[in-house]
Structure formats: structure tokens, C-alpha cells
């Protein structure tokens, strides 16, 4: 069976729903004190994990599309990618607003001094570049350079789990699982990655 | 040494006036109706039922968990060591905790510890002492004269609170046991009971710490008047997430030094191992004095986020003080010591 446009529409609607429900949950959890008496760390962690989960889901799309010969699935990657960017934006915004309380000088010195924050910021800047070039009109204008730029999603996929494991005090099991999952997803496209990075 | 059964005045405490501002229990329990009113009932209804039970705890009905019961405690003396700073509300002090024995997230200890058994309890004071002592649960409040001390608490993660503790100076206890001339350090140990403490049973929950959690002080630090054994906070006995039934409070050091649910205090001649130092010696030293000049490798210690009253955006970032502002009382302990090396 081939997926039709109607299927694609329903799938996209489902994806929007699945990406937004966790945000609604977070807002309610914070409002009802379910996120703890001081939910700052909870919010930062929750949105960060949200970005990473969404990124991994996005990286699953093309292997699945290939395996099941459903080319149209690839069209959902932009939608998911923009949610990765949205979660990353919430994550960064929570850090700056709730934790640093808008101390911009502290934000700058911390970014320079702390490797894990620097790694996170690099990943965010790449995501930002990918997000603003995701419009079709810009994609057309950029021509071949577009694909080159968007290959950097694989760099993001390396930076984000590194940022995670570097940030924790001692709880390394969870970030280690994420590193393994990312490695697996990159392994499935090793030929493609070889081509990209040997150029 | 006073050994009498002390009944102090139960004072009217400043937070009593806040009763009217507290969310009434009925409103709190009515949360799910609020959720329904927001039109989100449908979100819960569209989830598979297994997910309901877990992720959507928030919406599920009447899942009232057992709550640990605290007792009011009488005390004789009340000293504020935090000047005119605003005291952190009780609900934040008791729902934002680092106590990895009950899980690594900040809210996990309050959620996973409510059935923790504190009675009977036994705290042993031994090692380089003349008279080893064993204190039972009732002894903490009946044998010792309780006082209230309001201290700043600075976490190594750069957030802080102001907490009114109830307890007694550690020195009182150590003097009763009589420290010998060989006693140079004091080692502390948390209860090891994986059946009650899920973090000790499961590495994923326990965050990779080697249990039981251990801490240590030099004998001079331990004998300093600020070093406190707390059995209560906010006029009541400690809830488990805050280290019931008895915990250490060392206000000029990062919070991880203030070991919770203590079962053993051993006076030693050698420096004892300490849990976070064992885990990452380059990040956590033995002394762990609050010091804005020495950054943690992964974050600045120059300022801190003070958790006080109000919502998410009402927090303030304030400069961190050397020795958490207790330099007058403790700086002498470290004369001649390079605090950058001995962090």
C-alpha cells in the first residue's frame, strides 16, 4: 500500500498533536505544582529532552521511508525539524529567563567558559540556520547550498547528546542511552555520511 | 551538660500569619476539575489507559498518596542567621530536594519518600570518643534542648534558600561523647536501606552514587557553633525528603555536605571519604566551602538564584558571599589554607 496525500495530511495532524500535547502537559504540571516547588530545573530538562527526542524521531523518518518504500514520509521531516527548533528555543529561553534571570553578561561568560553550554549553543545556532532556511522559496533560491547546509543536522545530532552528558552531575545512564541511539541512527546512514564528509 | 527534659515555649511563628494566603486544601484537591474546566478533559480521554496511569497522573482521579505525618516540636531559643532575608516557603523547601536515595529529580524525594519509616531509629556516635552514645528516635527531641536557627542554604548547583531549622549544635552531642585527643575528623553516614530507598536499589534512580552516602568534617568544623543537627523545620519534625529524622546542617558549605537521615557519626583520626568527592574529585572537594571565587568546572559560583516567595519569574539572582555570609564565624578555621586548592 502506498501512502496517499490524505494519509500524509492525517499523519501531519497527528504529529502536530503529539508535539504539542507535552507542552500543554508541562504548563499544567507547573501550574498545579506537579513539577515540584521550584520547577526551573524541571522545565529546562523537560524541554531539552523534548528537543532531543524530537530530533531522534526526525532521524528515524528517512530510514523508515526507505525500508517501507514510502517516499512521501520524507515530507514530514520539515515539520518535525521545526518542532526540534521550537523545543530547543524553549529550552534556551528557560535557561536564560528562569535560571539566569536575564543576566546577559553571565550568559555570555558562561557560554564561553563552559564547554557543555558552548556545545549546546553551537547546536542551537545550527538549528536556527536550518529553521530559517526551511521555507520553500528560500530552499529554491539556495540551490545546491541548501542541501549542504541541511546536512549539518548530523552535526547537531552529535552535539546535542554530548551537551546532555556533559551537563549532568552524575546521572550518566540516561544520556548514555541517547548517545547509543544517536550512534545507531547515524550508523544506518553511514554510506551517505561518508559521501557527505569526504567531499 | 543539660540533660533535663526540656519543654520550651511553642512560639507563634511568623508564617502563621500566612495561613490565609495558602491555597485552601479544597481548591488544591479540586485541581482535576480545574483541568476539566480548561477543556483539557479530552486530552486525557484520548490517551490510551496505560498512559493515563503514568504520564497523566495529573488528570487521573483521586490518586491521593499517603503523606508522611510530621509532629510539632517545642523549642527554647530562636536565632535568625539570615538577617532580614525572606524565608523560603515551606512548600518549596519540602518539594525541591536533592536526596538521590529517593530519585535524582528535584521533586522525586517528596514523591518517593512519604512512607519512609523513621521510628524506630538509631544514631550511633562512636570512634575516637570516651563514651560512645546511641540515640533513639525519641532522644533527639527529649534528651536534647531544641532551638530554632534560620540559615541560608546554598546548593552547589547555584540556587539557595533560607530555612528555619530546629535542632541542636553538633558540638553538644560530641561533648557529651567526649572526643579523645586522636579525634581529628568526624565521619557521617546515611541509612543504607534499599527496600525503603529506591535510589539505593536501582542505579538509574540513584544517579550513580556509591551508597551509603557519606560525608565528613574536620573536628574544628564539627565543633563550630554553627554546625547543627536538625530534627525539624518550620516548627515541625523533618519530612523524609528533608532528611528525617535527623540530618546535618553546615550553613557555610554547599548543601551536599549537609548529609541527611544520619545513622552514624564516627570521630576519626584520618580524613574520611566523602560521597561526591569520590565520584568526581575535580568538581567536589572535601571542604566544599561556599566560595564565589572558585567556580564549579561546569558553572559559575559567583551568584545564586534565591528561591523565595512567589512564582517562576519572581526569583532573584543575588551575589554569592564567601562562606555563604558566615565568614565572621568560620573564616578563622581556614587561616593559612589555600582555598583555591582546598575547594
Residues B205 and B247 in one domain: yes
Q: Residue B180 above 70 pLDDT?
A: yes
Partner residue facing B95 (CB), from A21, A36, A41: A36
Contacts across the A-B interface (CB distance below 8 Å)? 101
Is the CB of A37 less than 8 angstroms away from the CB of B43? no
- Asked if the Cβ–Cβ distance from B316 to A101 is below 8 Å, we say yes
Q: Is A106 an interface residue toward B (CB < 8 Å)?
A: yes
Q: Does residue B323 fall inside a structural domain?
A: yes
Average pLDDT, chain B: 86
Element (H, E) at A185: helix A173-187
Reading chain A (199 residues) residue by residue, the pLDDT tens digits are: 788 889 999 999 999 999 999 999 999 999 888 888 889 999 999 999 999 999 999 999 999 999 999 989 999 999 999 999 999 999 999 999 999 999 999 999 999 999 999 999 999 999 999 999 999 999 999 999 999 999 999 999 999 999 999 998 888 899 999 999 999 999 998 888 888 877 6
Residue B191 in any domain: the answer is yes
Asked if B305 and A40 come within 8 Å (Cβ–Cβ), the reply is: yes
Rounded to whole angstroms, the Cα distance separating A108 from A102 reads: 11
As a whole-number percent, the residues of chain A with pLDDT over 90 amount to 84
Same domain, B145 and B276: yes
Q: Model pTM?
A: 0.84
Three-state SS string across B147-181, please? EEEEEEEECCCCEEEEEEEEEEEHHHHHHHHCECC
Hunting for cell 495561613 — which residue is that? B19
Which of B207, B280, B303 has the CB atom closest to A106's CB atom?
B303
Domain contains B180: yes
Same domain (yes/no): B38, B171: no
**CATH number of the CATH domain containing B117:** 3.90.420.10
For residues B39 and B126, state if they share a domain.
Answer: no
Query: Is residue B40 predicted with pLDDT exceeding 60?
Result: no
Whether residue B120 has a cis bond before it, omega within 30° of 0: yes
Which residue range(s) make up the domain with B278? 68-334
Q: Is the pLDDT of residue B50 over 50?
A: no
Average pLDDT for residues B34-51, to the nearest whole number?
Answer: 45
Q: How many domains does chain B have?
A: 2
What are the pLDDT digits (tens) for A98-132?
999 999 999 999 999 999 999 999 999 999 999 99
B113 domain-assigned: yes
Query: pLDDT > 90: what percent of chain B?
Result: 75
pLDDT for res B66: 82
Based on the domain organization, do B109 and B25 belong to the same domain? no
Grid coordinates 581556614 are at which residue?
B334
B282 assigned to some structural domain: yes
Judged against a pLDDT cut of 50, whether residue B53 lies above it is answered with no
Supply the DSSP symbol for A30.
H
Phi, psi (rounded to 5 degrees) for B268 = -130, 165
Above 0.95 for ipTM, yes or no?
A: no
b/e map of B257-272 (b: 16 or more CB within 10 Å)? bbbbbbbbbbbbeeeb
Same domain, B121 and B252: yes
Rounded Cα–Cα distance for residues B330 and B343 (Å) = 15
User: Would B273 be classed as within a structural domain?
Assistant: yes
Residue B28 lies in a domain: yes
B43 and B178 co-located in one domain: no
How close, in Å, is residue A22 to chain B by CA atoms? 10
Q: Which of B162, B207, B314 to mutate to test binding with chain A, by most A CBs within 10 Å of its CB? A: B207
B76 and B45 both lie in a single domain: no
For residue B78, pLDDT beyond 70: yes
Domain membership of residue B248 (yes or no) is yes
pLDDT of residue A198: 79
Residue B197 predicted with pLDDT over 80:
yes
Separation in Å, CA of A162 to nearest CA in chain B: 14
How far apart CA B36 and CA B53 sit, in angstroms, is: 17
**pLDDT tens-digit readout, B269-303:** 999 999 999 999 999 999 999 999 999 988 999 99
DSSP 3-state of B317:
strand
pLDDT of B44 > 70? The answer is no
Residues B21, B109 within the same domain: no
Q: Where exactly are the structural domains of chain A?
A: 5-198
Lowest mean pLDDT among A8-12, A119-123, B2-6, B168-172: B2-6
**Stretch (H or E) spanning A40:** helix A40-67
Amino acid at each position: 500500500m502506498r501512502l496517499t496525500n490524505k494519509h500524509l495530511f492525517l499523519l501531519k495532524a497527528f504529529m502536530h498533536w503529539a508535539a504539542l500535547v507535552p507542552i500543554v502537559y508541562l504548563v499544567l504540571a507547573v501550574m498545579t505544582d506537579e513539577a515540584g516547588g521550584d520547577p526551573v530545573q524541571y522545565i529546562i530538562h523537560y524541554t531539552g529532552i523534548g528537543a532531543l527526542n524530537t530530533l531522534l524521531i526526525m532521524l528515524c523518518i528517512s530510514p523508515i521511508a526507505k525500508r517501507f518504500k514510502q517516499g512521501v514520509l520524507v515530507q514530514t521531516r520539515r515539520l518535525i525539524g521545526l518542532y526540534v527548533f521550537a523545543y530547543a528555543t524553549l529550552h534556551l529561553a528557560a535557561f536564560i529567563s528562569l535560571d539566569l534571570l536575564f543576566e546577559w553578561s553571565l550568559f555570555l561568560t558562561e557560554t564561553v567558559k563552559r564547554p557543555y553550554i558552548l556545545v549546546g549553543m553551537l547546536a542551537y545556532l545550527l538549528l536556527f540556520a536550518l529553521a530559517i532556511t526551511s521555507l520553500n522559496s528560500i530552499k529554491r533560491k539556495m540551490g545546491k547550498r541548501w542541501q549542504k547546509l541541511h546536512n549539518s543536522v548530523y552535526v547537531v545530532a552529535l552535539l546535542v547528546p554530548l551537551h546532555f552528558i556533559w551537563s549532568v552531575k552524575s546521572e550518566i545512564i540516561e544520556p548514555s542511552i541517547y548517545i547509543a541511539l544517536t550512534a545507531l541512527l547515524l550508523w544506518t546512514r553511514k554510506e551517505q555520511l561518508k559521501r557527505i564528509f569526504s567531499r | 551538660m543539660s540533660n533535663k527534659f526540656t519543654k520550651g515555649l511553642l512560639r507563634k511563628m511568623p508564617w502563621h500569619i500566612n495561613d490565609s494566603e495558602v491555597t485552601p486544601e479544597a481548591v488544591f484537591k479540586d485541581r482535576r476539575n480545574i483541568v476539566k474546566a480548561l477543556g483539557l478533559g479530552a486530552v486525557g480521554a484520548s490517551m490510551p489507559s496505560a498512559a493515563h496511569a503514568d504520564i497523566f497522573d495529573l488528570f487521573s482521579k483521586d490518586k491521593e498518596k499517603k503523606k508522611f505525618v510530621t509532629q510539632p516540636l517545642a523549642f527554647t531559643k530562636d536565632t535568625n542567621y539570615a538577617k532580614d532575608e525572606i524565608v523560603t516557603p515551606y512548600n518549596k523547601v519540602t518539594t525541591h530536594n536533592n536526596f538521590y536515595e529517593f530519585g535524582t529529580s528535584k521533586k522525586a524525594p517528596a514523591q518517593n519518600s512519604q512512607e519512609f519509616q523513621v521510628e524506630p531509629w538509631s544514631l550511633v556516635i562512636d570512634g575516637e570518643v570516651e563514651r560512645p552514645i546511641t540515640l533513639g528516635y525519641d532522644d533527639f527531641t527529649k534528651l536534647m534542648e531544641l532551638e530554632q536557627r534560620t540559615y541560608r542554604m546554598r546548593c552547589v548547583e547555584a540556587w539557595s534558600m533560607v530555612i528555619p531549622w530546629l535542632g541542636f549544635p553538633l558540638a553538644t552531642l560530641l561533648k557529651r561523647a567526649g572526643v579523645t585527643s586522636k579525634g581529628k575528623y568526624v565521619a557521617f553516614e546515611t541509612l543504607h536501606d534499599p527496600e525503603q530507598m529506591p535510589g539505593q536499589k536501582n542505579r538509574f534512580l540513584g544517579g550513580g552514587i556509591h551508597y551509603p552516602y557519606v560525608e565528613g568534617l574536620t573536628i574544628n568544623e564539627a565543633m563550630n557553633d554553627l554546625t547543627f543537627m536538625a530534627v525539624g523545620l518550620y516548627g515541625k519534625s523533618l519530612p523524609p525528603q528533608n532528611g528525617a529524622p535527623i540530618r546535618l546542617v553546615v550553613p557555610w558549605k554547599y548543601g551536599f555536605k549537609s548529609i541527611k537521615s544520619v545513622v552514624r557519626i564516627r570521630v576519626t583520626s584520618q580524613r574520611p571519604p566523602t560521597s561526591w568527592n569520590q565520584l568526581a574529585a575535580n568538581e567536589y572537594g572535601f571542604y566544599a566551602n561556599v566560595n564565589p571565587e572558585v567556580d564549579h568546572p561546569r558553572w559559575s559560583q559567583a551568584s545564586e538564584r534565591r528561591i523565595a516567595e512567589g512564582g517562576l519569574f519572581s526569583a532573584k539572582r543575588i551575589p554569592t558571599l564567601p562562606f555563604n555570609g558566615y565568614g565572621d564565624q568560620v573564616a578563622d578555621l581556614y587561616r593559612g589554607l589555600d582555598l583555591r586548592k582546598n575547594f
